[in-house]
Structure 1
Amino acid sequence: MKADEILVIDLFAGPGGLGEGISSVTDENGYRPFKIGLSVEKESSAHLTLTTRALYRKLKDNRQGLQSYHDYLCGQITREELFDQYPEEAEAARTETLHKPRALGDDNEFIHERIKQLVNAHGNRPKIVIGGPPCQAYSLVGRSRNAGIKDYNAETDKRNFLYKEYLKVLSIAQPDVFVMENVRGILSAKVKDKPIFPQMLEDLRNPEQVTGIHGAKYNVYSLVKPANDPANPDYDKTSDFLIKAEDYGVPQARHRVILLGVREDIDRYPDTLLPSSEHVTVEQAISDLPKLRSGLSKQKDDNKAWERIVERHAKTVKRLLSKSFSNTEELDLKPRKGLSRSSKDIAGVDPKVSRHLRDWYIDNKPKCVLNHETRAHMESDLLRYAYSSAYTYLSGGSSPKSKSFPDQLAPAHGNWKTGAHDDRFRTQAANKSSTTVTSHMSKDGHYFIHYDPKQCRSLTVREAARLQTFPDNYKFEGNRTQQYVQVGNAVPPYLAKQIGEVLLELLR
């Protein structure tokens, strides 16, 4: 262990977005001081992804090890063979992710003991705790869903109080700094008609009052707005803790609450994040990836059948759009020929983004594209996709609401025209940042339609991962549904990297 190592304890880690960004930060000498000691995650496929990535971090500075990792990514060796080739590093990666999926609240004895071991071994060097307690019960969508559940009681929903597991770890580890992430909905969530967020802030400032474990107190800062008094941070409104990811180089309108806690005995104050000079668009982020066609659901699925259907739809779409737009004649909606449903082939060009983000995507890039495979869609939905993407193009970037769809394209939903599902078919406009990438992508792609009507499909896992700013060599394990869930639940690593830079400056 080096004298300047910073121990990272990663809780509720998901596929590792927050840890990935922070652990990638380098100092002026190119050294990466943030070392992940453990990552806690209960979902099995996300745990596999975490362990694979942990092994990558231990191999990437070794030329032979990096080549073996790339061989795995491109299908030349299996995951088991990769781990067998490097037994020492593999065991360290498994130890980092606690050898199997584990959950705070269920496996506390094991997790807490491991944290104590790491903290004792680390001595008086800096340490941080990061993570975001699961947010389904706080999110606006989750609360809407809960409202429809008979006898739902927020007071007994354990998900509303998982942040208290985070408090227990703060009491045990007493880190110099903590970072806690959660959904925007936490700012307005209530239990017994009492707002959760002010109480959460009070608990984070003094974990002992909840855990009963004598320990440190913390000042809690916003990462986007300076405190009125840095020594005793206070803010005018709760929204001052809200980070809009699109303002910091992420090609996605993702708004999250991120809290930065600094132990009271540390007499230094954190900087705020520096906004990016421009917003990154969807087209800039994903246009270099191989072009694909969608699959056909409930019928024969091959190129010729798909091309016939999309070409037929193109004529219908142009006719329908001519009633609303005057420039439809110049619109080319004919399908791209010879497309496959998946591709690992490198397109030969780099993302059209700023140099810093481009370098982030393609660092140690493999000679193949990962997790880039399309869904199958029903023929009727393909017509709606073609209409939505063409409408978005003609309108200059505004995806059609349900009321803008012709009656003949309306799905068989009784509330289609009520506005309750206004964005059910939404195209991610080429010239804007995307809307929030969510785990709902695992259920259908209607809200994440590709801007190119000639591909006529929803976004792939890799495209969603690009919008979340995962590097191109980040392998998502599990089946495609599980991969979508992992990507949708993650913290954008490129944003996390910028947070890590703030932490490093604070802890120097």
Structure 2
Amino acid sequence: MLTPEQHAARARKIERLKAGAPARALEVCSGCGGLSLGLSAAGFDLAAHIEIDPEAAESYAINFGAGKRFDDPWSIARDMEHCSAEELVRDLKLGISPIDAFDLLAAGLPCQAFARIGRSKLRAIAGGKDDAFQKDPRAALYRRFLNYVVDVQPLVIVIENVPDILNFGGHNVPEEICETLERIGYRTGYTILNAGYYGVPQVRERLFVIGFADALGIAPEFPEPTHFLDLPKGYEGSRRVALKHVDENSKHFRAIHTPSRKLEKANTVRQALGDLPKIKEHIVDPKVIRRRRLTDMLPYRAPRGGVSAYAKLMRNWEGFATKRGTDGHLVRLTPRDFPIFQKMAHGADYPEARRLAETMFAAMLRKKRMTRVSRTSKAYAELRDAIVPPYDPDKFPNKWWKLDPAKPSRTLTAHMGKDTYSHIHYDSYQCRTVSVREAARLQSFPDGFKFAGAMNSAFRQIGNAVPPLLGLAVANSIKSQLADALAVLVQTAPTSTGKEQNEQKAA
């Protein structure tokens, strides 16, 4: 049930947007700004954001701060649990109350507690308890977000997370969110969107919740796919597990889009990376890589067949256009594994890499005439350690993966900040994992987008982000629906006398 003040605040926002003002966005848990990049490109005003990670907040300020100092209140890192909407508006000196400050409220809430990929780590931290992921305090942040909804009274709500939030210990969190939002005056819906369906060269499933204030008179819709992609089997299985606790009769769940085969095919890894610089210094002169900084620029190259349409988009994104080259050409130095990377087939994973390493080790034993050396000897152990990675193939079947240039990439994760072996470059000549800029390209960050911090932080920020092209598809869909709703409201606006009567009743 809305109070008269809340009704009036929503009405004021509608009148403001009807007059042609841009919708003002507040994004909570913004990360470095993947979703914000999409919102901005669609015409939303990035009025404020909240991000706890200092380096991600610095990246946000570099790219969206319009010259603001890093210690400016707009730029600094904030913890959503300890920063209210009222405090935020006061610190930013917006000159209005929180209830009038923002038209759209978005959140990319931390997914570590919800994602199955992170549950084993949480279980280990909690001493082996199976329900540790449910007790992770980050899992309750969506309730804190709902407090922001009450305080801000946005006309539009957007929430993004991993699909596993649909099956959080047998509990469908998005359904609960939608039911709560419905009780406070929103029409909501949720579904799974795959980034590959919207031009991102990556198979990445994400859950989106969209809500519109009742006063707009519309129910949310989700963007139609623009690209065709056949989901790999592993993603289909993960989707089934996530959907296990979705009631087929739910009025909030929207059927997942199935892209038409007539659409343009999904962008591939080669289309995404083919024009970026070849990096081979790690083989011939590692000192060059060690001295290179994240901000150092390298020139583009002219790939055979020309620069792809996707690469041109990444070079020419409005506000982030580049001309001769880009930065972010740092890679991990892993000399032991370079020969393995070189021999791996496209699409191969760790078990295949381990078999190749064992073969190379056996060949080296023969070459050094060490076939009869004791396996317990120091010489045998040192040679093996120099060639064979130590991970058990049964425990780490997906630890490594060599990109297939003819297909979209597999999902990038925040764990790339610690381990980039999940994305080994397809070019065997370069025999390495992907660079920061290549990871950014696979996530659809434009080449002019800058990342603060060192290499590990940049990888983490990229893996955590909403792919900007996916964010743009959602933002454009919201903008179109909002425009249609406002147009109807303009046509059905009451006379001045009737309007005054309505305001008197609301008061």
TM over 0.5: yes
Equivalent residue in structure 2 for 1:439, among 395, 402, 414: 414
SS state at 2:26 partner: strand
Indicate the residue corresponding to 2:124 in structure 1: 148
Tell me which moved more, 480-489 or 142-151: 142-151
d(CA) in 2 for partners of 1:109, 1:124: 11
- What amino acid maps onto 2:122 in structure 1? N
Alignment-derived partner of residue 210 in structure 2: 260
- For residues 481 and 414 of structure 1, do their structure 2 counterparts lie closer, same or farther at Cα, with a shift above 3 Å needed? closer
**Deviation by residue 1:105-149 (Cα, 9 ceiling, x = unmatched):** 123376454499759369879710112111111111111222333
Q: Which has the larger radius of gyration?
A: 2
Separation in 2 of the partners of 1:481 and 1:242? 29
1:402 equivalent to 2:380? Answer no
- Kindly provide the amino acid, as one letter, of the partner of residue 327 in structure 2: L
1:227-272 Cα shifts (integer Å, max 9, x gaps): xxxxxxxxxxxxxx11111011110001010111111222134443
CA distance in 2, matches of 1:130, 1:109: 13
Q: Give yes or no for contact 1:20–1:496 (8 Å, CA) kept in 2.
A: yes
What TM-score comes out, normalization by structure 2 length? 0.70
Q: Rate the CA distance shift 1:248–1:300 in 2: closer, same or farther, 3 A.
A: closer
| Aligned counterparts, 1:326-337, within 5 A | none
User: Gaps (5+ residues) in structure 2?
Assistant: 1-15, 227-262, 289-294, 361-386, 484-507
Equivalent in the alignment of 1:101: 77
**Superposition pairs of residues 412-431 of structure 1, within 5 angstroms:** 412-413=389-390, 415-416=392-393, 418=394, 420-431=395-406
State the partner residue of 2:340: 384
Contact 1:280 1:353 in 2 (8 A): no
Which residue pairs with 1:247 in the alignment?
197
- Distance in 2 between residues matched to 1:123 and 1:166, nearest whole Å: 15
Seen in structure 2, the aligned counterparts of structure 1 residues 288 and 400 have a Cα distance that, compared at 3 Å, is same
TM-score by length of 1: 0.69
Q: Give the Cα–Cα distance (whole angstroms) in 1 for the partners of residues 476 and 182 of structure 2.
A: 23
**In 2, distance between residues paired with 1:442 and 1:154?**
21
How many percent identity over aligned positions? 25
The alpha-carbon distance between structure 1 residues 159 and 357, as it changes in their structure 2 partners (threshold 3 A), is: same
2:33 corresponding residue in structure 1: 16
User: Aligned partners of 2:135, 2:99: CA distance in 1, in Å?
Assistant: 39
Q: Which runs of at least 4 in structure 1 moved beyond 6 Å after TM superposition?
A: 121-126
Relative to structure 1, is the Cα distance of residues 451 and 342 closer, same or farther in structure 2, using a 3 angstrom cutoff?
farther
103 and 178 in structure 1: CA distance in 2 versus 1, 3 angstrom threshold? same
User: 8 Å contact 2:26–2:102 — kept in the other structure?
Assistant: no
Distance 1:116-1:343 versus aligned 2 partners, 3 A rule: closer
Structure 2: distance between partners of 1:502 and 1:451:
34
Do residues 370 (structure 1) and 289 (structure 2) align?
no
Match for residue 165 of structure 1?
144
The one-letter code of the counterpart of 1:176 is L
CA offsets 1:459-497 (integer angstroms, 9 cap, x no match): 011001011111111011111111110111000111111
Distance (whole Å) between structure 1 residues aligned to residue 145 and residue 193 of structure 2: 21
Q: What residue is the counterpart of 1:198 in the other structure?
A: 175
One-letter amino acid matched to 2:301: A
**Residues 346 and 359 of structure 1, relative CA distance in 2, 3 Å threshold:** closer
CA contact (8 A) 1:128 1:176 kept: yes
Offset, 1:177: 0.6
Cα distance change of structure 1 residues 263 and 135 upon mapping to structure 2, 3 Å threshold: same
The alignment status of 1:281 with 2:281, answered yes or no, reads no
Give the secondary-structure state (helix, strand or coil) at the position aligned to 2:82: coil
Instruction: Please provide the CA RMSD for this pair.
Output: 3.1
User: Quick check: 1:249–1:357 contact (8 Å CA) kept in 2?
Assistant: no
Q: How far apart, CA to CA, are the structure 2 residues paired with 1:115 and 1:506?
A: 32
Which 5+ residue runs of structure 1 have no aligned equivalent?
26-31, 59-88, 207-215, 223-240, 304-340, 393-397
CA distance in structure 2 between the aligned counterparts of 1:117 and 1:507, rounded to whole angstroms: 28
Question: What SS class does the counterpart of residue 446 from structure 2 fall into?
Answer: coil
Matches within 5 A, 1:54-93: 54-55=64-65, 58=66, 89-90=67-68
> How far, CA to CA, are the matches of 2:208 and 2:173 in structure 1?
15
Alignment of 1:208-227 (within 5 A): 216-222=184-190
How far has the Cα of 1:453 moved from its partner?
0.5
Provide the rounded CA distance (Å) in 1 between the counterparts of 2:101 and 2:391: 61
